[in-house]
Structure 1
Amino acid sequence: MKIGFCGLGLMGQPMVRRLLQAGHQVRVWNRSADKARELVQAGALWCDSPAAMAGECEIVMLCVFDAQAVHDVVLGEQGLAQARGTLRIVVDHSSIAPRATREMAASLQEHCGAQWLDAPVSGGVGGAEQGTLAIMVGGCAQALEQVRPVLSVYSQRVTLMGPVGAGQVTKLCNQTIVATTLTAIAEALSLARDNDVDAALLSQALGGGWADSVLLQLFVPRMTQGTEQVKATIDTMLKDLDTVADLARSSYTTMPVAHAAQQTYRAGHRLGIGARDVAEIVKVLGYNFNK
Structure 2
Amino acid sequence: MGVSGCGKTRVGVEIAARLGLAFVEGDTLHPRGNVEKMSAGIPLSDDDRWPWLDLLGAALRHADEEGHGLVASCSALKKSYRDRLRHGSGGRLLFVFLDGSHALLQARIAERRSHFFPPALLDSQLATLEYPGDEPLVVTVDIAAPVDRIADAALQGLGAFGVRPCQDQGKRHVEMTQAVKVAVVGAGIMGSAIATRLIETGQVVTVFDLDKAKVAALTAKGAAAAASVAEATRVSSFVILSLNHADIVRSVVFGDGGVAASASPEKLLIDMSSIDPADTAQMASRLSAETGMKWLDCPLSGGVPGALAGRLTIMAGGEAADFEHARTVMRHLCANYTLMGPSGAGQTTKLINQLFCAVLFQAVAEAVKLAEAGGVDPKAIPAALKGGRADSSIMQEFMGKFAARDFSPTGRIDNMLKDLDSLQAFALKTKTPLPMTGQVVELHRLLCAAGLGPRDSAEMMRLLDGKIS
Q: Which residue of 1 aligns with 2:404?
A: 225
Asked whether the equivalents of residues 20 and 26 of structure 1 are also in contact (C-alpha less than 8 Å), the reply is yes
Is residue 28 of structure 1 aligned with residue 207 of structure 2? yes
Deviation at 1:218, TM superposition (A): 1.6
Q: Which residue of 2 aligns with 1:235?
A: 414
Is residue 270 of structure 1 aligned with residue 449 of structure 2? yes
Asked whether the equivalents of residues 265 and 291 of structure 2 are also in contact (C-alpha less than 8 Å), the reply is no
Deviation at 1:85, TM superposition (A): 3.6
Deviation at 1:22, TM superposition (A): 2.0
Q: Which residue of 2 aligns with 1:166?
A: 345
In structure 1, what is the Cα distance between the partners aligned to 2:408 and 2:192? 15
Question: What are the Cα deviations for residues 85-138 of structure 1, in whole angstroms up to 9, with x where unaligned?
Answer: 476210000000101101111221222111000000110100011110011100
In structure 1, what is the Cα distance between the partners aligned to 2:345 and 2:295? 12
- For the residue of structure 2 that corresponds to 1:156, the secondary structure is strand
Is residue 101 of structure 1 aligned with residue 287 of structure 2? no
Counterpart amino acid of residue 399 in structure 2? V
Question: What are the Cα deviations for residues 22-59 of structure 1, in whole angstroms up to 9, with x where unaligned?
Answer: 22211111121220112212221111111122222221
Q: For 1:101-140, what aligned pairs fall within 5 Å after superposition?
A: 101-140=280-319
Asked whether the equivalents of residues 234 and 281 of structure 1 are also in contact (C-alpha less than 8 Å), the reply is no
Aligned Cα root-mean-square deviation (Å): 1.8
Asked whether the equivalents of residues 5 and 26 of structure 1 are also in contact (C-alpha less than 8 Å), the reply is yes
Q: For 1:28-107, what aligned pairs fall within 5 Å after superposition?
A: 28-85=207-264, 88-107=267-286
CA pair 6-195 structure 1, distance change in 2 beyond 3 A: same
Bigger RCO (CA 8 Å, 6+ sep): 1
Deviation at 1:195, TM superposition (A): 4.5
Q: Which residue of 2 aligns with 1:261?
A: 440
Q: Which residue of 1 aligns with 2:19?
A: none
- For the residue of structure 1 that corresponds to 2:335, the secondary structure is strand
- For the residue of structure 2 that corresponds to 1:12, the secondary structure is helix
Deviation at 1:200, TM superposition (A): 3.8
Asked whether the equivalents of residues 180 and 258 of structure 1 are also in contact (C-alpha less than 8 Å), the reply is yes
Counterpart amino acid of residue 100 in structure 1? D
In structure 2, what is the Cα distance between the partners aligned to 1:196 and 1:43? 49
Is residue 151 of structure 1 aligned with residue 305 of structure 2? no
Counterpart amino acid of residue 286 in structure 2? S
Which of 427, 430, 435 aligns to 1:251? It is 430
Q: Which residue of 1 aligns with 2:382?
A: 203
Query: Percent same amino acid among aligned pairs?
Result: 37
Asked whether the equivalents of residues 96 and 168 of structure 1 are also in contact (C-alpha less than 8 Å), the reply is yes
- For the residue of structure 1 that corresponds to 2:189, the secondary structure is coil
In structure 2, what is the Cα distance between the partners aligned to 1:13 and 1:150? 16
- For the residue of structure 2 that corresponds to 1:137, the secondary structure is strand
In structure 2, what is the Cα distance between the partners aligned to 1:192 and 1:255? 28
Deviation at 1:196, TM superposition (A): 4.6
Alignment gaps of 5+ in structure 2: 1-179
- Scaled by the length of structure 1, the TM-score of the pair is 0.93
Asked whether the equivalents of residues 229 and 257 of structure 2 are also in contact (C-alpha less than 8 Å), the reply is yes
- For the residue of structure 2 that corresponds to 1:64, the secondary structure is coil
- Scaled by the length of structure 2, the TM-score of the pair is 0.59
In structure 2, what is the Cα distance between the partners aligned to 1:254 and 1:139? 28
- For the residue of structure 2 that corresponds to 1:60, the secondary structure is strand
Asked whether the equivalents of residues 133 and 156 of structure 1 are also in contact (C-alpha less than 8 Å), the reply is yes
Alignment gaps of 5+ in structure 1: none
Which of 152, 175, 182 aligns to 2:354? It is 175
Moved more, 21-30 or 132-141: 21-30
Deviation at 1:79, TM superposition (A): 1.1
Asked whether the equivalents of residues 182 and 204 of structure 2 are also in contact (C-alpha less than 8 Å), the reply is yes
In structure 2, what is the Cα distance between the partners aligned to 1:151 and 1:73? 22
In structure 2, what is the Cα distance between the partners aligned to 1:272 and 1:205? 35
- For the residue of structure 2 that corresponds to 1:95, the secondary structure is coil
Q: Which residue of 2 aligns with 1:213?
A: 392
In structure 1, what is the Cα distance between the partners aligned to 2:400 and 2:263? 50
Counterpart amino acid of residue 54 in structure 1? T
In structure 2, what is the Cα distance between the partners aligned to 1:213 and 1:64? 28
Moved more, 126-135 or 59-68: 59-68
In structure 1, what is the Cα distance between the partners aligned to 2:466 and 2:389? 24
Counterpart amino acid of residue 139 in structure 1? G
Q: Which structure's CA Rg is the greater one?
A: 2
In structure 2, what is the Cα distance between the partners aligned to 1:279 and 1:59? 34
Moved more, 84-93 or 2-11: 84-93
Asked whether the equivalents of residues 378 and 400 of structure 2 are also in contact (C-alpha less than 8 Å), the reply is no
In structure 1, what is the Cα distance between the partners aligned to 2:462 and 2:282? 38
CA pair 38-74 structure 1, distance change in 2 beyond 3 A: same
Deviation at 1:198, TM superposition (A): 4.0
Q: Which residue of 2 aligns with 1:286?
A: 465
